[in-house]
Amino acid sequence: MLKVSDLGSGLAIAGLGLAIIVQAQGFPSVGASPVSPAFYPGLIGTVLLGCGLALALGSLLKKEAMPLGVLPEWLRRPGNILAVLAVPAAIIAYGLLSPVLGFLATAFLVTLGLLVAFRVNWLWSLGTAFVLSGLLHLVFVVLMRVPLPYGFIEALLP
């Protein structure tokens, strides 16, 4: 990912800490407990706010070279960009497609897409996707008895 200067990350963390504190103010106190449900998250938010400010301040004092951040190396190589993007794409595709298509079809398509994005040739990709989706089904559904999403291919199995 991108490298951010301590000023940037410090400010982001301080912002998160502040947001945690602000959100905690809305928690109502229920019952007779001497500790409000806002106390502990408020404490966490305060520490994060402090850490973030300390990082940002340290960065200013040290006069870090980077203003906020620099472009990372991988953004200059199309092959790497494709590989990096394929990771979230695979997770999202699995999450959205598996309830519709069922596990086997989704796993096959997602694996195939991943392998192609990682520049594996088509023949190997097809073979691996086929074997891997079957293997995952065997491990999780047959051996571990996890009910993975049921789809049209599963309906054909005995």
Partner 1 sequence: MNFITAIQTVFEPFTLTVIVASAIFGLFVGSMPGLTATMAAALLVPLTFYMDPVPAIGAIVTCSAMAIFAGDIPGALLRIPGTPASAAYVSEAYQLGRKGQLSRVLSVNLIASAIGGIFGTLVLIMLAPQLAQVALRFSSYEYFWLALIGLSAATLISSSNPIKGLTALFLGLFLAVVGLDVVTGLPRYTFGTVDLMGGVSLIAALIGLFAVAELFRKAATIHEDLPPPAQVTGAILPQGLSAIAQYRWNALRGSTIGTFLGILPGAGADIAGWISYAVSKRFSKTPEKFGTGHIEGVVDASASNNASLGGAYVPALVFGIPGDSITAIVIGVLLIKGMNPGPTVFTQSGDIVSAIFVVFILANLLLIPLGLLAIKAARHVLRINQRMLLPIILMFSIVGAYAVNNSVFDLWIVLGLGLLGWIMEENGFPIAPMVLGLVLGKIVEESFTNSMIKAGGNVIAFIDRPIAATLAFVFFAIWIVPFVLRLAGRRVPRAS
Partner 2 sequence: MKLTKLALLTAAILAGVSGPALAQYPERPITMIVAWAAGGGTDAVARALAAQLEAELGTPVNVVNRTGGAGVIGHTEIVNARPDGYTIGLASAELSTYYWSGTAQFTANDVTPIALVNLDASAFNVAANSEWQDLRSALDAIAEAPAGTYKLSGMAPGAAYHLAFSSLLNAEGIDPNTITVVPSQGAAPGFQELAAGGVEIVPSSLPEATAMIDAGQVKTLAVLASERLEAFPDVPTVEEAIGRPFAGGTWRGIVAPAGIPDEARDRLIAAVETVWNSEDFQSFMSERGFGLTYLSGDDFGAYLAEQHEQNGEVMGLLGLRQRD
Distance from chain centroid for Cα 102:
23
The verdict on 44 binding partner 1 (CB under 8 A) reads yes
Beta-bridge partners for 4? 69
* Candidate residues 31, 65, 67, 71; the one interacting with partner 1 per rule CB under 8 A: 31
**Contact characters 10-29, partner 1, x per CB under 8 A:** ---x------x--xx--xxx
* CA dist., res. 39 & res. 52, Å (int): 20
Q: Which does 86 bind (CB under 5 to 8 A by kind): partner 2, partner 1, none?
A: partner 1
**Contact characters 67-86, partner 1, x per CB under 8 A:** -----xxx--x-xx--xx-x
The verdict on 60 binding partner 1 (CB under 8 A) reads no
Residue closest to 95 by CA, chosen among 135, 148, 145, 137: 148
* CA dist., res. 103 & res. 150, Å (int): 6
